[in-house]
Structure 1
Amino acid sequence: MKHDIFSAEQLGKIKLVIIKAIDATKERIRNYDVSVCERDGYDQIDRANLEYDRNQNIILKNRDTIQLRSLETALVKIEQDPEDFGYCNSCGIEISLNRLFARPDSCYCLECMRIIEIKGKSNRLDACIN
């Protein structure tokens, strides 16, 4: 089916961006070294640094795993349902082509994403105050 906004060529380019992003994310996940060994003889500062590095790697790996799922979902959508790809999940308008090239797994237009982020910050502030 023909997309209302994007040409087949544009969708193909976005699909390539998604595939490259998936490959890069998988490579980063493979490279995280969450099994940094503690060795006898390290002083407390060295052990603390190792623990900090390990925790950072776990956080980054988790973030990339979530990103990978999002990219894979976008790939499935652009392959199986291309006529619905690229529209905001909140307001239904088309997501800009520039945004999709920058963040091909975007589910929201910039305006809706700003609103979501503002509400999220507001909720976090409320949680901290209460």
Structure 2
Amino acid sequence: MTPDDLAALHGRCFAAHPRPWTAAEFQALLAGPPNFLLTRPQAFLLGRAIADEAELLTLAVAPEARRQGLASALLAEFAATSRAHGAREAFLEVAADNAAAMALYAGAGWETLGKRRNYYAPGLDAVLMRRTL
């Protein structure tokens, strides 16, 4: 997937909060050596691994391709890729109103650590989650 493809899919998945990322932002992130991109048709995950920690930066699945196991497959590949880079634990942030994503992450072994109040917008917190790899 090109940065334009990533931005287009991200825009379909994240309309307002968090705001969709631009092609230029994806280009810059992909240029960073600790960052890695995992893809499936109609889905992608962008992560990074530094030292013994990994971070799931974003995960997007086209609306018409949801509930087909794509996100779960990407999460499993994220864990394996992060371990291969030496990470022992992983972190992510998810919008507090994204119940489907939080359920997906919890089902994959992620646990809630806390919240960042008003992180995405006034009244929309980020939920911090962690997983041992």
Q: TM-score range by the shorter chain?
A: under 0.3
Larger Rg: 1
Q: Select the structure with the greater relative contact order (CA < 8 A; seq sep ≥ 6).
A: 1
TM-score where L is the length of structure 1: 0.27
Larger strand share, 1 or 2: 2
TM-score where L is the length of structure 2: 0.27
Larger helix share, 1 or 2: 1
